[in-house]
Structure 1
Amino acid sequence: MIVFDASTLILLAKAELLERFLQDFPGQITIPKEVERECCGATKSLDALLIRKAINEKRIRVNELKNRKLRDRIEDDFPVGTGEAEAIALALSLNADLVAIDDKHGINACKLLGISFTTAINILLRMHEKGLIEKEEALFNLEALERHGRYKAEIVKDARGKLEVR
Structure 2
Amino acid sequence: MGKSKSYQVPEAAPSLVADPVGVCISPNTDIQTLRHHVMDAVYATNDQSALYNCLVFLSNLTNQSETLIKGKLLKRLEELALLKEGWDGENSVSIDSGIQDFLRRVIMLSSDKELVNWVLFPDARGYLYLDYTEGKNLAGITIAPHQIAAFIKRDGHLSKYNYDHLNEQDILNLLEEVHIS
Instruction: Compute the TM-score of the two structures, normalised by the length of structure 1.
Output: 0.26
The structure with the greater share of residues assigned to strand is 2
Bigger relative CO (Cα 8 Å, ≥ 6 apart)? 1
The structure with the greater share of residues assigned to helix is 1
Larger radius of gyration: 2
Instruction: Compute the TM-score of the two structures, normalised by the length of structure 2.
Output: 0.25
